[in-house]
Amino acid sequence: MLRLGHGLLGLTQDTAGLAPSTRVVIAGRPARVPDAPLNPPIVPASSFIAGGALEYAREDAPSTHALESAISDLEGGRTLVFSSGMAAANSVLDQVPIGGIVVAPDPCYTGVSARLTELHAAGRLQVRRVDITDTTAVAAACQGAALLWLESPTNPLLEVADLPACIAAGSKAGAKTLVDNTFATPLLQQPLTMGADYVLHSVTKALSGHSDLLMGAIVCRSDEDAHTVQTRRVLLGAAPSAFDCYLALRGLRTLVVRMDRACATAALLAERLGAHPAITRLRYPGFGAMLAIELADSTAADALCANTRIWVHATSLGGVESLLERRRRWPLESARVPEQLVRLSVGIEDAADLWSDLRQALPT
Ligand SMILES: Cc1ncc(COP(=O)(O)O)c(C=O)c1O
């Protein structure tokens, strides 16, 4: 039996009129009754006694509800969490009819891009890649499309789309519209309020925030889409573990303070990096905690990654720790990404320490 329930633990959700920093703390808590725990319990069960709303954890499980309810509160839709961001992405791609057209950014996150290439090559669907900064080109590409896939800012070029205009063009053409909101987070933009049908998150990143789990989420504007996405989760077998849901919700509670700090530091670093003679190009959209810089060549970029003490040379982003990497070290990364580009994910360490670490590692 499929159901979309968030009431099994008596979760309370009276967050109307409250600021995101309050909502993220109070959403998805058990009802305030004597002896109730403050935090929703981890329920490690694959199966449930028959006769009630729950049957089998691949379909639905109490441990996902609190987290889904908190993400829904922030994004303003109906959330289903998945075992990774890629699993979440596949739950929407899986709904495209055979041979259907998907319009996607060139480039977008490597995993999604590689999956689109694979599905296109197999004849499963057709991909039209577009420059998402060119709204006219996006609108033209949407003619006859089944799905408009947006990512803004993009990974790793930090290109920004005119989301309301692109979403409107996609919807007008009859396409479903999805926005990968992993970089911006619901604190900086809420695509469902702009008319998008779906928001995707790699919960692995800023939402959970501690680089200690893999998870994804699809937030749907309509209950009907949520039901379809939930069915995909069941049939693709992509449910997250109870323990990971607990960790992700624990991380989500501090999203606002982490993002406030990381975004402020990113703005400061953008200013300093932009003025540094070794940086040939700075990519910073003016918001968020992600930056990309270009150096003279890939050797200089590799040397920067090898010579920092605080910044960690590692992939991924959105955690409390600052990470950097030369994206083209990945064979699947788009050729549109310059070889000498280093992507930086700003964490919550001291801003002056982060800057002095970069400065000592950059060529003079
Ligand atoms: C923008 C974006 N979307 C989706 C994903 C995929 O998420 P996951 O790694 O959790 O599968 C990533 C991962 O880096 C990403 O950066």
pTM of the shown model: 0.97
- Known catalytic residue: 180? yes
Predicted local distance difference test score (pLDDT) of residue 6: 45
Average per-residue pLDDT for the chain: 96
| Active-site entry in 23, 73, 109, 328 | 109
What CA–CA distance (Å, rounded) separates 75 from 87?
19
- pLDDT attached to residue 1: 33
Max Cα separation, the chain?
70
* pLDDT reported for residue 343: 98
Percent of the chain with pLDDT over 70: 97
Name which of 252, 326, 322, 256 is nearest 294 in CA terms.
Answer: 326
* pLDDT score, position 293: 98
Instruction: State the Cα–Cα distance between residues 87 and 90, nearest whole angstrom.
Output: 5
What tokens were used for 340?
């000498």
Instruction: Output the six-digit token pair for 96.
Output: 């495209």
C-beta atoms surrounding 136 within 10 Å: 9
Atom of ligand 1 lying closest to residue 205 CA? 10
Ligand 1 pocket, Cβ-based, cut-off 6 angstroms: 84-86, 109, 111, 151, 155, 180, 182, 202, 204, 214, 216
Region for 316 from its dihedrals, namely left if φ exceeds 0, alpha if ψ lies in -120 to 50, beta otherwise: left
H or E segment to which residue 128 belongs: strand 126-130
Q: What is the pLDDT of residue 14?
A: 82
Region 9-34: what's the mean pLDDT?
Answer: 88
For residue 20, CA distances in Å to 71, 89, 236, 246, 345 come to: 11, 25, 33, 20, 22
Structural domain boundaries in the chain: 11-252, 255-361
Among protein residues, the one whose CA lies closest to atom 6 of ligand 1: 85
Ligand 1 center to 111 CA (angstroms): 7
Candidates 23, 66, 28; CA nearest to 187 is: 23
The predicted pLDDT at position 9 comes to 58
Active site (annotated) includes residue 109? yes
What is the whole-number distance in angstroms between the Cα of residue 50 and the centre of ligand 1?
Answer: 36
Task: Give the strand pairing for 312-313 and 323-326.
Answer: parallel
The architecture that CATH gives domain 255-361 is Alpha-Beta Complex (3.90)
Catalytic residue, chosen from 56, 58, 131, 272, is 58
DSSP 240: P
**Distance between alpha carbon 176 and the CA centroid of its chain, in Å?**
18
**What CATH fold (topology level) applies to the domain 11-252?**
Aspartate Aminotransferase; domain 2 (3.40.640)
Give the pLDDT confidence of 302-338 residue by residue, as tens digits.
999 999 999 999 999 999 999 999 999 999 999 999 9
Q: For position 4, what pLDDT does the model report? A: 40
Q: Which of 92, 109, 132 for mutating ligand 1's site (highest number of atoms within 8 Å of CB)?
A: 109
User: Is residue 176 flagged as an active site residue?
Assistant: no
246 catalytic per annotation: no
pLDDT, mean of residues 3-30:
78
Q: Give the model confidence (pLDDT) of 197-215 as tens digits.
A: 999 999 999 999 999 999 9
Tell me the per-residue pLDDT of 136-182, one tens digit each, with 9 for 90 and over. Answer: 999 999 999 999 999 999 999 999 999 999 999 999 999 999 999 99
pLDDT digits (tens, 9 = 90+) for 42-72: 999 999 999 999 999 999 999 899 999 999 9
CA distances from 331 to 47, 60, 111, 158, 278 (A): 41, 37, 11, 20, 26
Q: Is the pLDDT of residue 2 over 90?
A: no
Residue 274 phi, psi (nearest 5): -60, -25
Matching fold, domains 11-252 and 255-361: no
